[in-house]
Amino acid sequence: MAVVVAGSINVDLIQSVDALPRPGETVLALQSERLPGGKGANQAVAAARAGAQTRMIGAVGEDESGVWMTEQLSAAGVDTLAVVAVEGAATGTAYITVDTSGENQIIVASGANAALAPAMVDTVADADIRVAQLEVPVEAVAAFFAASPGKQAVRVLNAAPAVLEAKRLFASTDVLIVNQHELAVYLGQHEERATPQAALAARTLISRDDQLVIVTLGASGAVAVRAGSAVHVPAFPVVPRDAVGAGDCFVGALCAMLDRAGDARPTDEALLIFANAAAALCTQKPGAVPAMPLRSDVEAFIAAHPNEGRPI
Q: Is 150 left (phi over 0), alpha (psi -120 to 50) or beta?
A: left
Query: Minimal CA–CA distance to 6: which of 150, 107, 151, 156?
Result: 156
Among residues 12, 99, 248, 259, the one annotated as catalytic is 248
Q: Report the pLDDT averaged over residues 114-125.
A: 84
- Is 12 among the residues known to form the active site? no
The strand pairing partners of 97, in sequence order, are: 15, 105
Q: CA angle, corner 68, sides to 122 and 12, nearest 5?
A: 90
Q: Report the pLDDT averaged over residues 138-144.
A: 95
pLDDT for 205 beyond 60: yes
**pLDDT one-digit tens code per residue, 249-287:** 999 999 999 998 666 788 999 999 999 999 999 999 888
Q: What is the mean pLDDT of the chain?
A: 92
**pLDDT one-digit tens code per residue, 188-202:** 987 777 688 889 999
pLDDT at 262: 62
The domains located in the chain, with CATH, are 3-22+30-304 (3.40.1190.20)
pLDDT at 60: 98
Instruction: Name the least confident of 36-40, 104-108, 171-175, 193-197.
Output: 193-197
d(CA 252, CA 20): 28
pLDDT for 92 beyond 80: yes
**pLDDT one-digit tens code per residue, 178-189:** 999 999 999 998
pLDDT at 175: 97
